[in-house]
Chain A
Amino acid sequence: MTGRFRRILAAGVAVLGLGAAAPVLAADWTWSLPGHVPEPRVPADNPMSAAKVELGRRLFYDTRLSGNGTVACASCHIQAKAFTDGRALSPGSTGGLTHRNAQPLANSAWNATYTWANPALVSLERQMEVPLFGDDPVEMGVTDANRAEILGRLRADPAYPPMFRQSFPEEAEPLSMAAVIKAIAAFQRSIVSVDSRYDRYLQGKASLSEAETRGMTLFFGERAECHHCHGSFNFNDQVVHARSREVETPFHNTGLYNLDRAGAYPFPNRGLFEFTARPEDMGAFRAPSLRNVAVTAPYMHDGSIATLAAVINAYSDGGRAVRSGPQKGDGRLNPHKSGLISRIGLTPQEKRDLLAFLGALTDETLLTDPRWSDPWQALR
């Protein structure tokens, strides 16, 4: 081997070395989406990369990210339950309960707004500040007092610093809370659910049963009218994607409460009203995606309906009457109820058919794919 050749080889190795640590370009990320699903919008300052998604996955499942080290994002967002937790309300790291039901995370990349009713939160990055820093209620319990300590815990794990450097090579200090937020947001964007039997049916790869087909006809028809609020590819009505020009953000009162016969919902769950104080916004919430809805019980913003069959009953009745207790009132008569919610009077057969169709929206890949599973368990 000549000296010159050795030098070239060494240079080649150096370049390869640099390549491994160099910015991971967005080009290394591809969305594998069926034709009926548009690519999501991704913030310009947080491009997707495989490295960042993997870092975000580790952080999502890491209890060290909470102030007292007891809860992770995954504590309330469990893969087998389509990233919900099976509870009406969820305990935070210091024991207090959230005000509202933990939301499924699949396809949250396409949300126009986040949480149950918050027009101010229009990116996953901003939404995440609520569970991280919120003090009413405390969820993750990150504060000015413990933020440095939490970052220190991550820095002390030999696995993390190289992953942060690889994910955020442009940052002088790649391991920061801002980077934690970006990485988890990237992981959340990667949680895509487009492989339900319904999706396969649309692609001609699977068929629906007779009951499911009847349920689908009801769902998209003008009698049940489910599609008005759950009609997008994501089965909701607030969608933003890479080529969106204008985005509507409707919120709806579905007649769940009527505390004072004037339409009141119980504080602090009065929906859009908490922001606008406009009477017509009382009880108005974002229609959630119905993908995987069969595995995300209990239901509604406060988890106050235990089963999907009972939810269908409430919509069939045009709302819900609470017969006793402090929340007594006939939600069906709520004056702010959406005009799209009226008594349908579905037959028992129709209810079963709708239930069957909603079951076809369950994506087994989402619930089991190792890409979104607990990486720490795999490492143990």
Chain B
Amino acid sequence: MTVQRAAFAGLAILGLAACSTTTPAPDSMPVTVTFALTANGKPARCGEPLGPLGSGGTPATLHDARFYVEDVALIDAAGQAVPLALERNDWQTASVALLDFEDGTGGCAGGTRATNATVTGSVPAGRYAGLSFTVGVPPALNHSSTEKAAPPLDIAAMGWSWQAGRKFMKVEVDPNGGVAKSAGAKARTWYVHLGSNGCTGNPADGESVSCTNANRLPVTVAAFDPATQAVALDLSSLFDGSALGRDRGGAVGCMSGPTDPECGPVFRQLGLSLESGRPVTPGTSPAFVVVAKPVAKP
């Protein structure tokens, strides 16, 4: 019995040791940044009407809503961005996190059940004024295979195989009445797929990929209190100026195609130049707004 007890004690110590790698050091403090998905001033969820969206005020339901963020940082009183040391779990690696607002129910059938609305990590203890993050996946990780990468980069739905990379943002809605295409056909879903494009692999080494249009979206919130506030991707703002009931060419909706007529308004609302793939005004994205932190679900 003595031996057994000793073994248990050993396990307990090991367990603690494992936990301590994610426990902030004494001079750092834990931070949880909460994100949200909203439409018409309310949380947007699968299976609930989103209300009217876009230039036509088209009623729609949610089909998918996920995006990756990198370079998450709090901004200190001096205006310096202090990187969040990310906790490591199935939603985030040391450098990138996945926000997931679809739960596979209702119109989101085919998605994943689990959702995630937070980025967790730590910063040196102190007072902070704001928040910054970038919608995207770091170039060094973007072109990894979903079948080889660690979570959360292993999600096949976020893969963008034709660019040998990933969708940074996948937001899809089903407008009531469908989407009328230019050729007379109808589509069910209006897609927003944001990712690096114009990508070229190096055939000499058979792998390394570089892209002309990064399409990474830096967002800065000058005044942000993680305790009481959340950053919302607001569908009403994202689709402002987009006519969701029709598609005039290219992919249905906007899949970051530089000549897709639907990408003009979407990229304007994201704050990206469709032509260059760079932010119009770095840090500024009309599609993201600050909201009150939702009350935690029981």
Question: A residues touching B (Cβ–Cβ < 8 Å)?
Answer: 41, 43, 112-113, 118-123, 125-126, 129-130, 133-136, 142-145, 147, 176-178, 181, 238, 240, 244-247, 249, 267-268, 273-277, 326
Inter-chain CB contacts under 8 Å: number: 102
CA distance A129 to B250 in the complex (A): 22
- B203 x A112 contact (CB < 8 A): yes
- A181 x B203 contact (CB < 8 A): no
| 18 A-B pairs (CB sep. < 8 Å) | A43-B207, A119-B199, A119-B200, A121-B164, A122-B201, A122-B206, A123-B201, A126-B161, A126-B164, A126-B201, A129-B145, A130-B162, A133-B156, A144-B157, A181-B147, A245-B204, A268-B251, A275-B199
CA distance A214 to B163 in the complex (A): 43
CA distance A176 to B104 in the complex (A): 24
- B199 x A133 contact (CB < 8 A): no
Residues of B near A120 (CB, < 8 A) are 162-165, 199-201, 209
- B148 x A275 contact (CB < 8 A): no
Indicate if B106 sits at the interface (CB-CB under 8 A). no
- A133 x B159 contact (CB < 8 A): yes
Q: Of B111, B203, B250, B258, which one neighbours A113 at CB under 8 angstroms?
A: B203
Contact with A along B210-221 (1 / 0, CB 8 A): 001000000000
CA distance A240 to B201 in the complex (A): 13
Indicate if B122 sits at the interface (CB-CB under 8 A). no
- A126 x B145 contact (CB < 8 A): yes
CA distance A245 to B204 in the complex (A): 6
If A133-B161, A178-B145 are given as contacts, then 14 extra A-B residue pairs at C-beta distance below 8 Å, sorted by A number, are A41-B206, A119-B199, A119-B201, A120-B199, A123-B201, A126-B145, A133-B146, A144-B111, A144-B155, A145-B112, A181-B147, A245-B204, A267-B250, A268-B250
Q: Of A41, A118, A125, A145, which one neighbours B110 at CB under 8 angstroms?
A: A145
Residues of B near A118 (CB, < 8 A) are 162
What is the CB-to-nearest-CB distance from B46 to chain A, in angstroms, rounded to a whole number? 14
- A240 x B212 contact (CB < 8 A): no
What is the CB-to-nearest-CB distance from B107 to chain A, in angstroms, rounded to a whole number? 15
Which of A121, A178, A240 has the largest number of chain B CB atoms within 10 A?
A: A121
CA distance A274 to B163 in the complex (A): 11
Interface residues of B in 32-51 (CB under 8 A from A): none
- B249 x A267 contact (CB < 8 A): yes
CA distance A176 to B157 in the complex (A): 17
Residues of A near B202 (CB, < 8 A) are 122
- A142 x B156 contact (CB < 8 A): yes
- B203 x A247 contact (CB < 8 A): yes
**A43-B156 contact, Cβ under 8 Å, with A120-B164, A121-B164:** no
What is the CB-to-nearest-CB distance from A339 to chain B, in angstroms, rounded to a whole number? 23
- A277 x B258 contact (CB < 8 A): yes
CA distance A144 to B157 in the complex (A): 7
Residues of A near B157 (CB, < 8 A) are 135, 143-144
- B159 x A129 contact (CB < 8 A): yes
Contact with A along B137-152 (1 / 0, CB 8 A): 0000000011110000
CA distance A249 to B203 in the complex (A): 8
- A240 x B206 contact (CB < 8 A): yes
Residues of B near A130 (CB, < 8 A) are 161-162
- B203 x A178 contact (CB < 8 A): no
Residues of A near B10 (CB, < 8 A) are none
Residues of A near B201 (CB, < 8 A) are 113, 119-123, 126
